[in-house]
Amino acid sequence: MARQNRKFTPRQRTTRPLGESLSSNQPPAQPLQAPSLRSDGWYIEPPLSSRLYQKSGLGMMQSDESIRLTPEEIMFCHWHRHVPLPSESWFQESVATDSDIIARSIVFDTARSGGEILIPVENIPEKWGIDALESTWALRWNREHVFSKQSPVAHVRWAWTTDEIDWAEMLHWTREVHSRGMVAEFFVIDEEMDVTMYLLGIDQPNGHQPLWDSFTLEEKEHLELLWSQRIPRGSGWYIPNVIDWPWDSIGVEHLSGRHLREEEGAWLDVLFNGLEVPSELELFSDLMSRGVLLRPGFKFGSRWRVYETPVGDAHAPWLVQPVDYAPLTWEGACLAVRLSEGVNKAWLCALYSQNQWHYLHMQRWLPGRN
């Protein structure tokens, strides 16, 4: 009942109608020319072509000063530059041959709504010398940049929420984008035609907890003695009557003793016996070697919540999910990120590649406005 009495105005959602402009500017007295078809695409002739290209970075400039437009650029010009569609049936016919035009048009419109300059990769001239990745859909410039003279700041891709995620490929793409000095942005479109923008990055979850190698031989022997007194409970262990447990990163204090999870006990066995770390403990071992403190993250839909400092000092800044348990679709990934950010934590997907662990960070993002 309380929610019904709240006074608020729901966000107005545009339906992007065909044949109508979304621009607040008055249309020109003389209707503008519609794009015309040539053998390799749709073109707008000068002088309109020069204005669209120079002011807005729309189209690919040709030697005759016309511009070649992608379908998403045609839709953007239709909605925001008063440019008619090629014909009344053009959109329907285009979608029949390439249904992704729907998503690309909406994503392109959203990406440019804040004044940022987004240019499809196919419109990037070779003379600019930009090394665009094959899987990148578009490049983005900040609104204050001159796109023809300055370098882009981001590689951009898009997906439907129902699309599956190849996390290894996403990691590779993100690393390649970073190696070019740019950021990796992913725009996700849902079934209500809303777009949510994400920034992908590589995080380094490091903390200030003591490491195994920092303990003296005497401290290690004391730990091993306490561990020898363990009692099985559930899938973990209970060490009774412990008042001087020296390693806060392992176990929790309760019932005048120390309670260790199964993975913590298995890892102690590895340390005490000088064993090789088994595959199922490799990620746990990597995180522990970073000086962080791991606690179960099931309340937040992840494997671990990860602390830099003791639990009572500050909240966990990260939620870590191994790739084997990561969401299969973008819908699941978006939900995981929304939940983690709702509790002020960064969501990380842990992947093993090129002989080391990587932590792919996915966060909601407003290009040019964050």
The residue type at 54: Q
- 312 pLDDT tier (thresholds 50, 70, 90): confident
Q: What is the DSSP letter of 280?
A: G
Place of tokens 């400092």: 309
Which residues contact residue 357 at a Cβ distance below 8 angstroms, ignoring those fewer than 6 apart? 282, 283, 286, 350, 351
- Residue ranges of domains in the chain: 210-283
Residue with tokens 């992608």: 70
Give the integer Cα–Cα distance in Å for 278 and 271: 12
Is residue 1's pLDDT more than 80?
no
255: left (phi over 0), alpha (psi -120 to 50) or beta: left
What's the confidence (pLDDT) of residue 35? Answer: 97
pLDDT of 23: 87
- H/E element, 341: helix 330-342
For residue 48, which phi and psi values (nearest 5 degrees)? -60, -35
Contacts of 22 (CB under 8 A, 6+ apart): 14, 16, 79, 80
- pLDDT bin (cut points 50, 70, 90) of residue 367 is confident
**63-114 per-position pLDDT tens digit:** 999 999 999 999 999 999 999 999 999 999 999 999 999 999 999 999 998 8
Name the residue among 44, 39, 46 with its Cα closest to residue 59: 44
Give the mean pLDDT of 328-333. 98
Angle between helix 90-97 and helix 100-112 axes, rounded to 10 deg: 110
The pLDDT value recorded for residue 5 is: 57
Determine what percent of the chain is predicted with pLDDT higher than 70. 96
Q: What is the pLDDT of residues 111-161, one digit of tens each?
A: 998 899 999 999 999 999 999 999 999 999 999 999 999 999 999 999 999
Average pLDDT over residues 279-306: 97
pLDDT of residue 157: 98
Is residue 319 within 8 Å of 346, Cβ to Cβ? Answer: yes
**pLDDT in the model for residue 4:** 55
pLDDT at position 370: 63
Task: Tell me the backbone φ, ψ of residue 71, rounded to 5 degrees.
Answer: -55, -40
Asked whether 222 and 216 are in contact (CB, 8 A), the reply is no
CA 157, CA 162: separation in Å to the nearest integer? 15
- Sorted by sequence, the CB contacts under 8 Å of residue 368 that are 6+ apart come out as 114, 115, 116, 142, 143
